[in-house]
Amino acid sequence: VRELVLDNCKSNDGKIEGLTAEFVNLEFLSLINVGLISVSNLPKLPKLKKLELSDNRIFGGLDMLAEKLPNLTHLNLSGNKLKDISTLEPLKKLEYLKSLDLFNCEVTNLNDYRESVFKLLPQLTYLDGYDREDREAPDSDAEVDGVDEEEEDE
C-alpha cells in the first residue's frame, strides 16, 4: 500500500485505528477532518512523502514529525489551530520538506508571516502554494482531477 486516504474517519484520542507502522511503503497519507489534536500518535512511516492533515484541531506538538516521517516533502496543516511561528519550529528538522500549507490557520494573520516562515524553514520551496518570489507551485492536482483551468479573480 503506497497511498492511504482516511479522510473524515474519527480518531480515538489521537489514534487512528488500524494505522500502524506496518504500512512501511506508505508514501501518501490523508487524514483530513479526523479530529486530530496531536501528531504524536502517528506511526513511524519512513517512506511517507505527503501528509494531509487539514481541518483537524492540531495546535502544536509537531516535534514528533521529523522522527517518525523523516522523508516528508509535502505537509498540509490548513485549517488547524496553529497560532504562532514558534509552533512550526520543529519542522526545521524535516530536511526534505519542500511544501507547507497553512491556509486558514491563525498563524497566517501575523505580520511578515510568509517572510518569517521562509526564514525559519530555509528548506521550503513553497508556502501555501507559492514560492519566495510569489510564483505559484505547479499544480499536481490537475492530473488527478483531469481539469487544468485556472479560475480568474472576480
Q: What is the pLDDT of residues 66-110, one digit of tens each?
A: 999 999 999 999 999 999 999 999 999 999 999 999 999 999 999
Q: Which domains does the chain have, with CATH numbers?
A: 1-141 (3.80.10.10)
Closest CA to 67 of 21, 108, 111, 107: 21
pLDDT at 149 over 80: no
pLDDT at position 55 is 98
pLDDT tens digit string along 123-137?
Answer: 999 999 999 999 999
What pTM does this model have? 0.87
22-39 burial, b at 16+ Cβ within 10 Å, e below that, comes to ebeebbbbbbbbbbbbbb
